[in-house]
Amino acid sequence: MPIELDNTDLAILKALMENGRQSFREIGRSVGVSSPTIESHVRKLFQIGVIRRISAILDIDKMKSEVSALILLKVDLPELENVLKNLSVIDEIRNIFVITGEANLVIRVVSSSNEEIQNFLVTKISTLKGVSVASSQIITRTFKDEQGAPLISRPIVGMECDYCRGEVKGSPFVMNIGEGKRFFCCKVCRDSYKEKYGRKVQKLTGQQDSEHSSQRIIDR
């Protein structure tokens, strides 16, 4: 079931996009709510996948030993998911976009030189099944590189099942885990999650779950 973010969520996201180093107290002061409220909303935003992580954004133009390139790929549709999985674990690839058109994939690659970009194409791209290079362009200057999206209105966020990774349609099955929650698309996924982590739950809580009780897992 899609979730609509509220005004506090939006204010927190804007604050973190401007400066991810702010403390909950600083964000709460600017938003006008308490630190525990900020912490609760941030935890929720992580849990539903709106915030994946908070990290440093490098200015690639300042790193003179690095070269960036945009590469358009033609990928056979039956191979698309496998190709995406293979590309996602390659460290030189910093962005992957599925697009429309004959060239249906764009990747941004960062390497140490033009020669290394060419070597990358030969050794790591041309060897992939169902993939051909449509074009490649070296980036000579980055004028704007903003992460995320402009928060003009309240976004609607789709929810993903924490077990099968499918879309949650309708009201999710919710499991309390420590101070957070897990969301499931159906009872089968919820029970499968319980079965997979049941021993850890019992070991840490010393309690036996019932159908309507919450589970508490302390993540290590």
CB hemisphere CA count around 93 (13 angstroms): 20
What are 66-121's pLDDT values in tens digits? 899 999 999 999 999 999 999 999 999 999 999 998 899 999 999 999 999 999 99
Identify the sign of the CA torsion 157, 6, 179, 218. Answer: positive
Domains of the chain with CATH codes: 1-56 (1.10.10.10), 60-139 (3.30.70.920), 159-220 (2.30.170)
Question: What are 135's strand-pairing partners?
Answer: 72
Query: CA-CA distance, 209 to 160, in Å (whole number)?
Result: 24
pLDDT on residue 99 = 96
Q: What angle do CA 201, 202, 204 make, to 5 degrees?
A: 65
Q: What tokens appear for 180 in the block?
A: 């957070």
What are 163-195's pLDDT values in tens digits? 888 888 877 888 876 656 778 889 899 888 888
Query: CA-CA distance, 210 to 175, in Å (whole number)?
Result: 12
pLDDT on residue 48 = 80
Residue 129: which of 72, 68, 85, 98 has the closest Cα? 85
One-letter amino acid at 214 equals: S
